[in-house]
Copies of this chain bind each other. A is one copy, B any other.
């Protein structure tokens, strides 16, 4: 079972599971891991980067995501989700996410998620600037 030590991620968030996350096989359905990614990433962008999801001119659209599943998590457990930026381009950013058991003793799943920042109206790529870009740079690791 692979293990990702604390140092591997720039930001951590505890995400509780919900009753409905468990599927017929008694564990968190594979789709829910992507909800965790979406949630942790947008929480960061809103809180640290000043992203205004309702009115702001720039929004992030997902153009690719992937997840590899190593172990099971199940409601009512909580996840410790680690987040870092693997690549920051002009208008796109690749986040890397590690979903761990709450005490970080085990890696449940690893994934990545690519945002392209676009103009809300035209949906054409734009370059994130100012506080938003700074928040992304703070998620990079050497």
Contact = CB atoms under 8 A, between A and B. Distances in A.
* Identical chains bound together, number: 4
Interface residues of A, number: 36
A76 B31 contact: no
A24 B30 CA distance: 14
A16 B40 CA distance: 11
B35 A20 contact: yes
Interface string A109-136: 0000000000010000000000000000
Interface string A44-71: 0011000001100001011111111100
Interface of A: 15-16, 18-20, 22-26, 29-31, 34-35, 38-39, 42-43, 46-47, 53-54, 59, 61-69, 75-76, 120
